[in-house]
Amino acid sequence: MTETLTIKAAYDVGAIRREFPALNRDVKGKPLVYFDNAATTQKPQVVIDALVNYYSHYNANIHRGIHTLAEEATAAFEATRDAVKDFINAPSREEIIFTSGCTEGINLVAQTWGRANLKAGDEVIVSNMEHHSNIVPWYLICQEKGAVLKVIPIDENGELLMERFDELLTEKTRLVSVVHVSNALGTINPVKTIVEKAHKAGAVVLLDGAQSTVHLDVDVQDLDTDFFVFSSHKVYGPTGVGVLYGKKHLLEEMPPYQGGGEMIKDVAFDKITYNDLPYKFEAGTPNIADTIALKAAIEFTKEIGKEAIRRHENDLLSYATEGLLQIPGLRIIGTAKNKISVISFVIDKVHPQDLGILLDNRGVAVRTGHHCAQPLMDCYRIPGTTRASFAMYNTKEEVDSLLAGLQKAVKLLV
């Protein structure tokens, strides 16, 4: 990473932006304004370099080879596991399982822990603001096992109704799986309280950290969560890589998720001995290059500092919120007291898709639709929203471009 000292001494967004090649391009003759960071973040040059370096210098399969390239690749791959362990303060590296992303991590828990532990009449609790990837896996396993899926409702501000959560918790509750931060609203949920209450009721907890890990300081030991998932591509790393953290005693009790190479110690036709953690859950050749590059993304983020990034993003959030509220007919969806730098909104008589097209014509990239959270949209009785989500490299000048585009759109469409 270049200009590190400058960035650390004072938050120099210009220096940070120069680390991200994609931000230099134009879209339809306009400088790119990228506000779709909750969907995926852009990648710094150090991440791109890590990918190129692997494929250029030590491309090899890992763990079983004894030649130099295989040993170098294995060392780099396992170094990422150590980096992730430190990043989320996991107790041991054996508790870090590499997946393809949050979706696979949640499915892994549902199909292994869920299949082994749920039975007819048991209860699983999710919330009304969940991403589909934290609804569908639990729906499927509940259907299979005859378990009951229960939902924590939210209020108009987009905050969980915790008194209703208390009522939903019973002696039949086996698992609570909730999003740490809402992708559609930006709401930061009181997950530590949720974990404490769930544990008192004898339930296991999974936290979906897809949106929280890039913005908040995550400490799985402090949260005391049983499972935690996040995706590389949300934290400035490559796509196709994710992390499942699980408490060791739970992972040891869970059956394998997939069968194949690496997840075994001995194979015979009449008996198979599974590998130790974490490899029991990492069947086959993994996504080696992208996993290695995740370490570069973590180091990049830590070098700038999450606290400094958070201050910058919160400043953008306040600035954008103030400007959006000046636009006639605009209503922000999700006004929780504690939220990250995500703003979802609707404008009277304007369809979000039309808004997204007009903004794209001005080089402004936002996300429109239900954001894989249809039950949440149904709660607000809307088909979808327009969502602007901010990252470490965004600026107030870019927010001004968004506001100008919205003002023009209102004149054209209303």
| CATH at 278 | 3.40.640.10
pLDDT (average), residues 301-308: 97
Q: Hey, what amino acid is at 131?
A: H
At 42, list the tokens.
Answer: 């852009």
pLDDT tens per residue, range 357-414: 999 999 999 999 999 999 999 999 999 999 999 999 999 999 999 999 999 999 998 7
Phi, psi of 316 (to 5 degrees): -65, -40
Q: Which CATH number characterizes residue 332's domain?
A: 3.90.1150.10
Shared-domain flag, residues 159 and 74? yes
Question: In terms of domains, do 54 and 93 share one?
Answer: yes
Closest CA to 301 of 213, 221, 394, 399: 213
Q: What percent of the chain has pLDDT over 90?
A: 95
Residue in 398, 377, 376, 378 with CA at minimum distance from that of residue 388? 398
pLDDT recorded at residue 271: 94
Same domain, residue pair 115 and 17: no
pLDDT band at 4 (very low <50, low <70, confident <90, very high): very low
Does 224 lie in the same domain as 332?
no
Q: What is the pLDDT of residues 196-239, one digit of tens each?
A: 999 999 999 999 999 999 999 999 999 999 999 999 999 999 99
Residue 5 has pLDDT above 50, yes or no: no
The answer on pLDDT for 2 being more than 50 is: no
pLDDT in tens, 162-171: 999 999 999 9
CA dihedral 21, 23, 28, 33 (to 10 degrees): 170
Q: Which residues, at least 6 apart from 256, have a Cβ–Cβ distance to it below 8 Å?
A: 112, 263, 274, 280, 281, 283
Q: How far apart are CA 346 and CA 357, in angstroms?
A: 15
Residue 75 sits in the same domain as residue 145: yes
| End residue of a domain, out of 236, 271, 302 | 302
- Band (pLDDT 50/70/90 cuts) for residue 10 is confident
pTM value is 0.96
What's the pLDDT tens digit per position in 21-71? 999 999 999 999 999 999 999 999 999 999 999 999 999 999 988 999 999
Q: Check if 372 is active-site.
A: yes
Indicate if 215 and 314 belong to the same structural domain.
Answer: no
Each residue of 235-247: pLDDT tens digit? 999 999 999 999 9
- Domain closes at, from 302, 325, 350: 302
Q: How many structural domains compose the chain?
A: 2
CA angle 281, 283, 289 (to 5 degrees): 105
Model confidence at 6: pLDDT above 50 = no
In this structure, the answer to whether residues 205 and 319 fall within a common structural domain is: no
Pair 147, 219 in one domain: yes
Residue 3 has pLDDT above 60, yes or no: no
Radius of gyration of the chain from Cα atoms? 22
197 and 328 in a common domain: no
What is the C-alpha to C-alpha distance for residues 387 and 397, in angstroms, rounded to an integer?
Answer: 18
Give residue 339's domain range.
Answer: 4-44+305-413
- Average pLDDT on 140-154 reads 98
One domain, residues 28 and 39: yes
One of 102, 142, 372, 379 is an active-site residue; which one? 372
Within its chain, how far is the Cα of 213 from the centroid? 7
Cα separation, 410 vs 189, whole angstroms: 33
Regarding whether 173 and 57 lie in a shared domain, the answer is yes
9 band by pLDDT with thresholds 50, 70 and 90? low
Could you tell me if 205 and 189 are in contact, meaning their C-beta atoms sit under 8 angstroms apart?
A: no
252: how many CB neighbours lie within 10 A of its CB? 12
Other beta carbons within 10 angstroms of residue 300's beta carbon come to 23
Asked if 310 and 293 sit in the same domain, the reply is no
Last residue of a domain, one of 302, 336, 357: 302
Task: Kindly report, residue by residue over 81-139, the tens digit of the pLDDT.
Answer: 999 999 999 999 999 999 999 999 999 999 999 999 999 999 999 999 999 999 999 99
